[in-house]
Each structure stands twice: as structure tokens, then as C-alpha cells.
A and B are shown apart, each in its own frame.
Chain A
């Protein structure tokens, strides 16, 4: 894109880093900023952002990857469905390698299950039109960026009268776990780099309770290196000023009102519910479940299947990684039993998972 170079200018980056060092030079405390978006995590590693920061500023990764936070029993459910002869699983690519209790979708595919990687829920819809003899089950993972696209596909399926399109739902919302982690005294989050594309939907207002009630500074930041440096500087300023608020660095994409149309469609199809997060447990109200009016499209309600009892790898520290409490290097399996080729835990699967990013780029 024509603008892109302007957001990667090395000279500007050096000047920003200097200014940041100068600004916090007299600050005696420690600022801990959490990024909760997998794409931010990847960008931080890719551009070596940690190595540029003054010692007063520490970055930790949070639960921002929908693939990473999907619990093992969800994968088991998808695996069980994939074994039914009439079912075709349609999914984003990352999901096929997430380990379940005893298998994953890639293994099932090798054994003959029909698993199709799609780029959009609309591709899954097209599969349903083309194969009326099959049941197409789309794996509905993702936060508020992805959930409206799934809601849109369900509405389209209803309009077209499709009877063989289903969603196995595990959609989630991000501000609620952010509040839960902000309240955790062990973490002492002093500011959030808020997710960029989630915010394009929910708008800055969604983080107001974090800033106003919990006193945690929030800055919605883009993914280019200068975006991220500027976002970190804006958070540092808020800490220095002692005035927590929500700011938008990424105003070229994120409007003050977010995207009301997408939110309407989301609310039409999904309702808030309690859902489990991998390693974190159930967080009340943090899920998006298919409303009763659309139960006909809910794979969990419409396709009966027996699912094995969930069992997680005992050594995997993904849960602690997702809460920002440990680093990948703290996990004894990291780089040993657990690699991107053979992931033991979900954080090693997607390129935006914390373990995968650290494996590829180092700290």
C-alpha cells in the first residue's frame, strides 16, 4: 500500500525510541504493558520492539489469539464431528493443528475425514450450497472481528434456506477477560495495547470501564512498528500523568463509534454467554453464543455426537502464557517436545501465538 513505508520509517523509529527513553528516564517504577492481540504479539517479536524499550517498560502478552484460547474440549468436539461420514469440517487454517485430547483435525483428515480450510465463512456457505448431501460445519472461533462475519454467514444461510450449514461456536469477546486480568494483583498491568481490528468493530467506548473503573490506561494501536512505538509512548504518558483514559492511535481504521452495522448483525445472531478459555477457565459473559432463533444452524444443538473426556498435556503452560504470567522459555517443553512442526499446546500453533512467535524470532 502506498502509505506503508511511512509507518516503517527507521529514522522516525529511532527518534521515537530516544524520546521514549528520555520521557521515562526519571521514572523509578516499572510499567507493565499487555498486548492482547495475537497480531500485536507477532509484530512485537518481528520488529524486536522489546529490545528498543527503556528498562522501565516491560511488555507481556495476553489472551489475544482466538485459536490459542480455544479449549481442548472444543477441539475434541470438532474431531468427533469430523468422524461422522456426512460431516465436512470447514475452518480457518490455524485450527486444524490445535491439539485435542487424543487427536487433531489434521490427523483426522489423514484418516479420511473431510476437513476443508477456508478463508471466509462465506466459503463454507458456498460448500453447503454445492454439497447438499453433506453437513458443512464451520468452526466459529474468533473475537469481535470475526464473530460478525460468522453472524453474516448465518443470516445469509437463513435467507437462502440452507439446511446443511452449521456453526460449532466458540466465539468470544475481549474486553471482559481484559478486565479480569487487570484485576489480577499478580500481573499488575499498568496499561493495555488494545486490539486494533477488534476495536474497529467495538469502538474505543468498549474499554471505558477498564480506564474509568479499574484505572488502566488503554491505547488502541495499529500493527506497523511506528504505530506500536507510538502506542507504547502514549501509554507511558498516561502512566506518567496519572490520568488513565482510552486513546486511539489507530484512527485511520478505528472510528470513535466503531462499526455499528457489524455490531447490530452480531447482536442479531449471538447473545452473551459464559464460556471457557483455555488455561483460564470459565469467564462469565465473555462468550458469544448462537441465539435460540438460529438454533437450526448450531452444530452443538443439531448434530448429536459423543465427545471424549478432555485431557490436556500435563506439561503445557499455555494457560499461564495466556495470562501473561510466564514466558515461553519457562515451559520445559518449549523447543524440546513442543515446536511449530509438532505443537503440544495451542500457543505454538498459530504464527501469532506467543510460543510460536518466540520460537521463530527469539525475545
Chain B
């Protein structure tokens, strides 16, 4: 029930956006969103509302950290 799904904004009309993931489209309200968003942004959708914008830089930073972990010596392989 509390699942949030990251979706990409396709169109914005006032407080309403059409969002898509894996070819599935859904309408979502932008009324709860604090961050300004634009078409192409990823937002977390929960119960028909966008509740957070996905920060691509932070996502990349986490992935970079994972790569570093992989690069650190010792262990298998």
C-alpha cells in the first residue's frame, strides 16, 4: 500500500502530470511536491501524488560509492 514508484513526467498541465514507467502511464497530482519539476524529471509517485523528485546527482553519487566498494581490494573473484 505504501509503495512509491519512480516515474518519468511526460506532460504537465497545472497541478496534474502524466507520468510513465515501463510503458505504463498514470495521472499524478503535483500538489504535494515542494520541488519545481519539468517534463523528463523522475518523481516518486505514491497513491496518485508525486511526493518527491528523484535527485539524479545523488543517485549517481550512491552508484559511484557502490563502484568504489567493488574496486576496494580483498575478497572474492
Q: Check if A143 sits within 8 Å of B61, measured CB to CB.
A: no
- Of the candidates A15, A121, A226, A255, the one having the most CB atoms from chain B within 10 angstroms of its own CB is A15
Q: How far is the CA of A93 from the CA of B1 in the complex (A)?
A: 8
Q: Check if B34 sits within 8 Å of A39, measured CB to CB.
A: no
Q: Check if B69 sits within 8 Å of A15, measured CB to CB.
A: yes
Given that A18-B74, A119-B47 are contacting pairs, would A6 and B63 also be in contact in the complex, using a CB cutoff of 8 Å?
Answer: yes
Which chain B residues lie closer than 8 Å to A119 at the CB level? 47-48
Give A239 Cβ to nearest chain B Cβ, in Å: 20
Q: Check if B49 sits within 8 Å of A259, measured CB to CB.
A: no
Give B4 Cβ to nearest chain A Cβ, in Å: 4
Which chain B residues lie closer than 8 Å to A145 at the CB level? 2, 4, 46-47, 51
Q: Check if B2 sits within 8 Å of A142, measured CB to CB.
A: yes
Q: How far is the CA of A1 from the CA of B15 in the complex (A)?
A: 24
Q: Check if B1 sits within 8 Å of A66, measured CB to CB.
A: yes
Given that A145-B46, A197-B44, A197-B46 are contacting pairs, would A14 and B32 also be in contact in the complex, using a CB cutoff of 8 Å?
Answer: no
Give B9 Cβ to nearest chain A Cβ, in Å: 13
Which chain A residues lie closer than 8 Å to B75 at the CB level? 14-15, 18-19
Which chain A residues lie closer than 8 Å to B67 at the CB level? 12
Give A146 Cβ to nearest chain B Cβ, in Å: 6
Q: How far is the CA of A122 from the CA of B31 in the complex (A)?
A: 12
Q: How far is the CA of A353 from the CA of B67 in the complex (A)?
A: 33
Encoded as 1 (CB less than 8 Å from any A CB) or 0, chain B from 32 to 62 comes to: 1111000000101011110110111011011
A290 lies within 8 A of chain B by Cβ: no
Selected contact of B69 from candidates A16, A121, A200, A251, CB within 8 Å: A16
Q: Check if A261 sits within 8 Å of B46, measured CB to CB.
A: no
Which chain A residues lie closer than 8 Å to B48 at the CB level? 119-123, 149
Given that A143-B2, A148-B51, A252-B54 are contacting pairs, would A15 and B72 also be in contact in the complex, using a CB cutoff of 8 Å?
Answer: yes
Q: How far is the CA of A179 from the CA of B50 in the complex (A)?
A: 29
Given that A149-B46, A255-B52, A260-B34 are contacting pairs, would A66 and B2 also be in contact in the complex, using a CB cutoff of 8 Å?
Answer: yes
Which chain B residues lie closer than 8 Å to A249 at the CB level? 62
Selected contact of A152 from candidates B4, B49, B72, CB within 8 Å: B49
B13 lies within 8 A of chain A by Cβ: no
- Within A1-57, the residues touching B (CB, 8 Å) are 1, 3, 6-7, 9, 11-12, 14-16, 18-19, 37-39
Q: Check if A259 sits within 8 Å of B52, measured CB to CB.
A: yes
- Of the candidates A39, A94, A120, A201, the one having the most CB atoms from chain B within 10 angstroms of its own CB is A120
Encoded as 1 (CB less than 8 Å from any A CB) or 0, chain B from 1 to 34 comes to: 1111010000000000000010000000101111
A253 lies within 8 A of chain B by Cβ: yes
Q: How far is the CA of A299 from the CA of B58 in the complex (A)?
A: 42
Q: Check if B29 sits within 8 Å of A146, measured CB to CB.
A: no
Given that A39-B3, A142-B2, A201-B51 are contacting pairs, would A252 and B62 also be in contact in the complex, using a CB cutoff of 8 Å?
Answer: yes
Given that A120-B48, A142-B2, A149-B47 are contacting pairs, would A259 and B70 also be in contact in the complex, using a CB cutoff of 8 Å?
Answer: no
Selected contact of A261 from candidates B32, B44, B61, B77, CB within 8 Å: B32
Which chain A residues lie closer than 8 Å to B63 at the CB level? 3, 6-7
- Within A150-209, the residues touching B (CB, 8 Å) are 152, 196-198, 200-201
A280 lies within 8 A of chain B by Cβ: no
Q: Check if A146 sits within 8 Å of B55, measured CB to CB.
A: no
A326 lies within 8 A of chain B by Cβ: no
A262 lies within 8 A of chain B by Cβ: yes
Nearest 7 Cβ contacts at the A-B interface? A120-B48, A252-B59, A261-B34, A200-B52, A262-B32, A252-B58, A251-B58
Given A94-B1, A149-B51, 4 other A-B residues pairs in contact with their CB atoms under 8 A = A18-B75, A146-B1, A252-B56, A259-B34
26 contacts between A and B (CB under 8 A): A3-B59, A6-B63, A11-B70, A14-B75, A15-B76, A67-B1, A94-B1, A122-B48, A141-B1, A142-B2, A145-B4, A145-B47, A146-B46, A149-B46, A149-B47, A197-B51, A251-B58, A252-B54, A252-B58, A253-B44, A255-B35, A255-B52, A255-B55, A259-B33, A261-B34, A262-B33
